[in-house]
Structure 1
Amino acid sequence: MAASFIKILKRKLNSAFYVALRWVNYYPYYDYLHGRGQKINLTPEYEIELTAEEKAFLKLCAASYNYFESDYALGHRQKELSLYKLQDVTFFSHTGVIMINQKLIVESGLSVDRLTRSKAFRDFTLMLPSRLKKGIYTTIQHSHWADNNISLWFIDSLPRAYILANTVQEPVTLLMWKGAHAYQKHTLEFLLKDYPHIKIKYISKHHKIRISNFYLPSFVTASFSGYLPPDVSNWLREKVWQSYAIKRDNPKQRIYISRSKARFRRVLNETDLYPVLKKFGFKIVWPEDLDYGQQIQLFFDAEAIISPHGAGLTNILFAEKCKVVEFHPAKIVKGRYMLLCKGLGFDYTPIIGSKGDEIEDFTIPVTEVENWLTSQYNLIPS
């Protein structure tokens, strides 16, 4: 009872504090770049060709998010890849967002939605500004979103290094949160090892830094999308494979990614699925039981992957060539990994389960999975 009262009181105090800080204009509003600085275009935007089935699936995804009028519902557009050369910016080290003329810049936070839910837009932390007087600075950081989420790291953050590697010629310092996880530091450092003019500087999350010259690489992906242009994904995949010394002659295997140890979005009738999967030669794995190098090797070796929706599916980026089946709860259907497969040229099949409960745990139609397996592997189960 006391704990519940304290929680309610804390929530009300926080709310009042936010209101008071808004009154004194503590929080900056947001704006777009609108032609500020010098813009270098690396690639133009283009429409992705989608099949009728893919368009229907994206519309289903959009309907579950009430985004019928968006590009996400009607198709998919790969935006241009660009580098912005800017002057006199303020860098927020806890988010990677920048501010110009007291306005947070949307392009530095991926989207208005993410920016306004980020700590840069709504934060109690008092960060006193310092100044880096010499040199040019940049970032690929997208915190707090990607702090320990492999999907947001490998799809939203790390591909921005491709833009830096292909546009920046002069010495530049890349600012990165020093609390990044080992796999994040490892992959970032390996990707940039052939570009010695791009130095990484790890800093704490308590700086609001005024910077005279700042290079802002655009995000490669759009909101809700996992699509990566082939040139970007091939560059990223090859370097990650090299960094983990992936063995390329292992026999191929079929794997099922279980979320039974996760806190949410678990398949409630997963045990009913196990006999079917094993009959078709699938191995059941829990990625959290493996170190990251082992996960990369596992996915590289996979010729087929079946999994409920979850961040672990990001690792299909490091499969050599595979078929992917993704389970979705009917209430919230997400197209991120369908679009990732689209960019990689992988066959993708969604299977929609029950609506799911309050933590998105759901059941899947085992017969539909069995029918897909039979159609793919010419095996008639006994």
Structure 2
Amino acid sequence: MPPALYEAGPIYDKYPHREEVPAAYTLEVANGRIYADNFNSVAVISADNKLIGDVSFQYARGDWRTVQPRDNNIFRQSYFIEPIRVRGTVCSLLSGGGAALGNYYHWLVDSLPRLHLLQEAGLLDTVDYFLVYDRNLRFMLETLEPLGIGPERLLDVNTHRHLRADRLVLTSPVRGRGVHTPDWVFRFLRETFLPARRTRDFNPYIYISRRDAPARVVLPAAEVEAMLRDEFGFTTYTLSDLSFAEKVELFSQAKAVVSPIGAGLANIIFAPIEAPLLELLPRSFALGDYCEVSARLGKPYDWLIGESPELADNHGDASRENLTVDLNVLRERVTRLMERVRKSSQQRELELET
């Protein structure tokens, strides 16, 4: 992570430079239980009533840090819902936190790649049901369909907050107990979802607007969109208007992307590696997630920090702030972005000639 971005990031959420991510694995549990009645924790319980800590999940109270299994709040509960019996094999795609809140980024990065681990272990075809947080989320259904998993095979915690299955199939947390994403996650997503052929043409110069979102809107919105359109040829897209397949196809055609931080920017995974990203960050929410994604992919990355009205000192409040950018500074950064696109295009032409 560039030192300047690290220093600019909020004190409450500094992105670690290094983490140890243990090897991935799968686990089968006979007559096991899953208890998940809140987004802060997932408890996987063996037939003899022991917490299986390595495949459970726990956030600290009021914080976004993962903590040790002994601190799982299952140990503090005094009331328990009776488990629902499920005949057959259940695979848990639960990963807690943002995924539990229906966040698109966390679904793509923390939940969906568990299916790759099952494929590699030869277990995917043995699963009868998949446990998710909300079986009605559109993007969830649209990402599972290409993998042959229909809604009739989904259970969710709205109806199965506590279940017991004949057999549980589980995987290690995709990112361990940290934030760094293994390279295999991006390979799996690109190989699985990138379209074999183009079915719709999009402008390859993409500006993602969050005008359809309650926070992290870039201001002054109209002036930013007009400048990007009139001076640089960008088209503004709001991702809520598009299906999952359309989002993938949009980003797969990208030559350059400008976007504020947000879950929808996870689609940068599907962009050509040479297409640069300029990320717009509120000062109080200058997180390193997409800097890391870009680095893992080998993608050119730049950032611009805009002013936040309140300069919140915690993750929750900061995530709800908008940001104001200086149009002259933005113009300078986009000019640099387009110069990088031009040089990359010239380099590809030279390679083709030789």
What's the TM-score once normalised by structure 1's chain length? Answer: 0.69
The one-letter code sitting in structure 2 at the alignment partner of 1:247 is R
Give the secondary structure class of the aligned counterpart of 1:84.
Answer: strand
**Equivalent of 1:324, from 244, 255, 277?**
277
1:120/1:324 CA distance change after superposition, 3 Å: farther
Note closer, same or farther for the CA distance 1:313–1:110 as it changes in structure 2 (3 Å cut): farther
* Equivalent residue, structure 2, for 1:43: none
1:59-102 Cα shifts (integer Å, max 9, x gaps): 543x43255xxxx3333554422223334531136566423436
Aligned to 1:365: 326
Aligned residues: 314
Structure 1 residues 181, 124: CA separation in 2 closer, same or farther (over 3 Å shift)?
Answer: farther
Give 2:206's aligned amino acid: I
- The answer to whether the 8 Å contact 1:227/1:341 transfers is no
**With CA pairs under 8 Å and 6+ residues apart, which has the higher RCO, 1 or 2?**
2
Q: Which residue of 2 aligns with 1:262?
A: 213
| One-letter code aligned to 1:310 | G
| Partner Cα separation in structure 1 for residue 55 and residue 182 of structure 2 | 18
CA separation in 2, counterparts of 1:271 and 1:265? 15
Does the CA-based 8 Å contact 1:137-1:215 persist in structure 2? Answer: yes
Offset at 1:162? 0.9
Give the aligned residue type for 2:142.
H
Letter in 1 for 2:44: I
8 Å contact from structure 1 (residues 329, 356) kept in 2: no
SS at match of 1:65: helix
Report the counterpart of residue 294 of structure 1 in structure 2.
Answer: 246
Instruction: Provide the residue aligned with 1:253 in structure 2.
Output: 204
Q: Is the 8 A contact 2:93 2:112 kept in 1?
A: yes
Structure 1 gaps of 5+ residues are: 1-49, 194-198
Q: Identify which range, 306-315 or 86-95, moves more after superposition.
A: 86-95
Map 1:1-382 onto structure 2 (within 5 A): 53=2, 55-58=3-6, 60-61=8-9, 63-67=10-14, 72-92=15-35, 97-100=43-46, 101=49, 103=51, 105=53, 107-109=55-57, 113=64, 127-132=81-86, 135-142=88-95, 145-146=98-99, 148-169=102-123, 171-177=126-132, 179-191=135-147, 200-202=153-155, 205-207=158-160, 208-211=162-165, 213-221=167-175, 225=179, 227-229=181-183, 231-242=184-195, 247=198, 250=201, 253-278=204-229, 279-321=231-273, 322-357=275-310, 359-378=320-339
Q: Percent identity?
A: 24
Structure 1 residue 377: Cα displacement:
2.8
Q: What secondary structure sits across from 1:288 in the alignment? A: helix
Distance 1:366 1:121, change over 3 A: farther
Secondary structure of 1:205's counterpart equals coil
Bigger mean CA deviation after superposition, 359-368 or 277-286: 359-368
User: 2:248·2:267 contact (CA, 8 Å) conserved in 1?
Assistant: yes
CA contact (8 A) 1:127 1:206 kept: no
Whole-angstrom CA distance in 2 between matches of 1:226 and 1:74: 9
Distance in 2 (CA, whole Å) between partners of 1:144 and 1:305 is 28
Q: How far apart are the structure 1 equivalents of 2:295 and 2:199?
A: 23
Classify the secondary structure of the residue corresponding to 2:174: coil
When residues 114 and 64 of structure 1 are mapped into structure 2, their CA distance, relative to the original with a 3 A threshold, is closer
Maintained 8 Å contact 1:330/1:356: no
Whether the 8 Å CA contact 1:254–1:281 is kept in 2: the answer is yes
Is this contact kept in 1: 2:252–2:272, CA < 8 A?
A: yes
Amino acid of the residue matched to residue 233 of structure 2? G
Quick one: which amino acid aligns to residue 57 of structure 1? L
Distance 1:303 1:175, change over 3 A: same
- Over the aligned positions, Cα root-mean-square deviation in angstroms equals 3.6
Task: Tell me the TM-score normalised to structure 2 length.
Answer: 0.74
- Partners of 1:309 and 1:294 lie apart in 2 by 20
Gaps of 5+ in 2: 311-316, 341-354
Bigger-Rg structure (1/2): 1
Shift in CA distance, 66/93, structure 1 to aligned 2, threshold 3 Å:
closer
